[in-house]
């Protein structure tokens, strides 16, 4: 399908018919109309190159302002060197004095037609297409040109000989040249009066409705937001049935969030569209460059490269955008990110620990293990940590679960020797007991901080510890019994020897 769909039936008359020659081009047929003229398909008589020629018809040329605006479009489009703006090849005047503009001939479909045929569109495809449009609009803004009529119908998706399809921005007939720009002097200043209605109402910014003169690049940011909203949801931003109601909606109604109709749209992208559509232009992105940077995390890898080119981002920033795009949507945007809720099992463990564990144990269980520190019991570690600040480091199982002696139980002979020699050893305080509840609380706190794999290790460590404790208990009883028997034997021998 041609890029220049027929939208203005009143402009079809008074145009060169098929077979007419315009310069070196022979007209073949009328293929459509733009904002200020009729578009003809023509062929270069020598090279056979197919082109599109836009001509201002007589009934439109009766308005001097229309003629000046048409010539301004010619100069504006010719100055923009982006591949994402339809290329101007030539321009001139017909014998009748009407101006014409020769442009590249495009085959493909507009985004408006594609939306009707293939909705819903992929999120990353939509973002990529808008980023390509931004590439062209950014160069226009650098020249002081505000498009003022961006919409899906003016974004054309054309095939290329190699590589993916490319988006081209069409129809600069409603463009405004800002004061002080290089084109302002060339085109003789503005021809738009404050009461002129320039653009398509559904995509016009509120300030553009109030006055077509009082617009800047942020009016195009609004139009790109309205385009994004429509391409993602499949329906216009505002759908009133009369022009007056559309104006009222644009001026005062808050647009419906994109995610209401597309749950798969990331919340961060929803926020980007909402900012574009702010009623107060000071709250929008100040330029399309900032808009491109905000859209980058939601684009494809090729789209993020284009965004990096638009924003001048470094490779590191591009890699960061890759990481953001790979993350879940809730983690992409800090402004909309909500704190994650803890798992129910962790909540129960934390509550149980807080309600039962001693304060010293609680502090010990939250303290990171120092590199090289020897293993101690839970209560001894609590004593060391009593005045130490809390930290959020990774907890170690050997400190909290393997709190008791890790060495194997002593042999019976060693126990007997220890018992016999105990009265002759220097006095020392008995070891501080570690209650089963203390160990259990420490386990709960360790499970609260560990992941699933660590939880499995925790169970293994617990079983090993319990087995070691049981073995140690049995060994102690046996040693005590042997000690008693040995003592009785020694006492008996002493009694008989005294006799």
**Rounded Cα–Cα distance for residues 138 and 134 (Å):** 6
Helix (H) or strand (E) holding 115: helix 111-118
Active site residue 149: yes
Cis peptide before 120 (omega within 30 of 0): yes
The conformational region for residue 240 under phi > 0 = left, psi -120 to 50 = alpha, else beta, is beta
**Rounded Cα–Cα distance for residues 284 and 215 (Å):** 13
DSSP type of residue 380: H
Catalytic annotation, pick one of 93, 95, 128, 149: 149
Backbone angles phi, psi at 20, to 5 degrees: -70, 145
Q: Given the DSSP bridges, would you call strands 88-93 and 109-110 parallel, antiparallel or unpaired?
A: unpaired
The distance between the two most distant Cα atoms of the chain, rounded to a whole number of Å, is: 152
Task: Give the SS3 label for residue 255.
Answer: coil
Query: What residues have CB less than 8 Å from 317, skipping those under 6 apart?
Result: 308, 311
Instruction: Please list the alpha-helical segments (H only) found in 256-332.
Output: 258-261, 267-276, 288-295, 301-311, 315-326, 329-332
CB 248 within 8 A of CB 158: no
CA angle 143–148–151, rounded 5-degree value:
120
CB 275 within 8 A of CB 284: yes
CB 83 within 8 A of CB 65: no
Q: Given the DSSP bridges, would you call strands 109-110 and 155-158 parallel, antiparallel or unpaired?
A: antiparallel
CB 155 within 8 A of CB 110: yes
| CA distance readout (Å), 47 to 19, 51, 164, 429 | 17, 11, 27, 106
CA 112 to chain centroid, in Å, comes to 25
**Rounded Cα–Cα distance for residues 230 and 119 (Å):** 10
**Token couple for 473:** 């208990």
CB 48 within 8 A of CB 73: no
Q: Given the DSSP bridges, would you call strands 21-22 and 38-44 parallel, antiparallel or unpaired?
A: unpaired
CB 388 within 8 A of CB 363: yes
Report the length, in residues, of the chain: 499
Around 494, how many Cα atoms within 13 Å sit in the side-chain half-sphere? Answer: 6
**What amino acid positions are annotated as catalytic residues?**
149
């Amino acid at each position: 399908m041609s890029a220049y769909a027929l939208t203005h039936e009143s402009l079809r008359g008074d145009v060169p018919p098929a077979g007419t020659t315009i310069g070196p081009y022979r007209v073949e047929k009328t293929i459509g109309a733009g904002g200020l003229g009729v578009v003809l398909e023509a062929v270069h008589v020598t090279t056979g190159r197919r082109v599109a020629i836009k001509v201002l018809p007589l009934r439109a040329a009766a308005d001097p302002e229309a003629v000046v605006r048409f010539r301004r479009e010619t100069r504006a489009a010719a100055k923009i060197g982006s591949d994402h703006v339809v290329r101007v090849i030539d321009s001139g005047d017909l014998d009748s004095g009407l101006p014409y503009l020769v442009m590249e001939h495009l085959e493909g479909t507009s985004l408006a037609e594609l939306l009707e045929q293939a909705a819903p569109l992929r999120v990353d495809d939509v973002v990529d297409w808008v980023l390509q449009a931004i590439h062209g609009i950014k160069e226009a803004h650098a020249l002081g040109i505000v498009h003022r009529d961006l919409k899906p119908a003016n974004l054309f998706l054309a095939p290329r000989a190699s590589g993916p399809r490319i988006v081209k921005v069409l129809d600069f007939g409603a463009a405004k040249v800002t004061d002080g720009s290089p084109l302002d002097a060339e085109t003789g200043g503005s021809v738009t009066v404050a009461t002129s209605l320039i653009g398509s109402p559904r995509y016009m910014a509120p300030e553009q409705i109030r006055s077509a003169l009082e617009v800047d690049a942020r009016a195009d940011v609004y139009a790109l937001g309205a385009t994004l909203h429509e391409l993602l949801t499949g329906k216009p931003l505002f759908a009133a049935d009369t022009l007056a109601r559309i104006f009222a909606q644009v001026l005062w109604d808050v647009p419906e969030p994109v995610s209401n109709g597309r749950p798969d749209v990331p919340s961060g992208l929803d926020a980007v569209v909402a900012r574009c559509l702010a009623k107060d232009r000071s709250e929008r992105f100040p330029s399309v460059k900032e808009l491109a940077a905000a859209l980058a995390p939601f684009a494809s890898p090729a789209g993020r490269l284009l965004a990096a080119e638009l924003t001048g981002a470094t490779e590191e920033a591009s890699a960061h955008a890759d990481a953001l795009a790979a993350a879940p949507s809730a983690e992409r945007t800090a402004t909309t990110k909500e704190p994650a809720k803890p798992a129910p099992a962790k909540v129960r463990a934390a509550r149980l620990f807080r309600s039962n564990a001693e304060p010293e144990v609680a502090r010990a269980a939250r303290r990171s293990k120092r590199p090289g520190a020897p293993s101690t019991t839970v209560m001894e570690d609590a004593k060391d940590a009593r005045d130490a600040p809390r930290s959020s480091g990774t907890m170690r199982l050997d400190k909290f679960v393997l709190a008791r002696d890790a060495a194997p139980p002593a042999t019976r002979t060693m126990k007997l020797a220890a018992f016999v020699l105990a009265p002759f050893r220097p006095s020392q305080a008995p070891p501080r007991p570690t209650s089963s509840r203390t160990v259990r609380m420490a386990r709960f706190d360790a499970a609260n901080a560990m992941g699933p794999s660590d939880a499995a290790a925790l169970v293994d460590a617990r079983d090993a510890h319990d087995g070691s404790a049981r073995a140690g208990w049995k060994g102690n009883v046996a040693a005590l019994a042997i000690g008693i028997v040995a003592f009785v034997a020694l006492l008996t021998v002493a009694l008989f020897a005294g006799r």
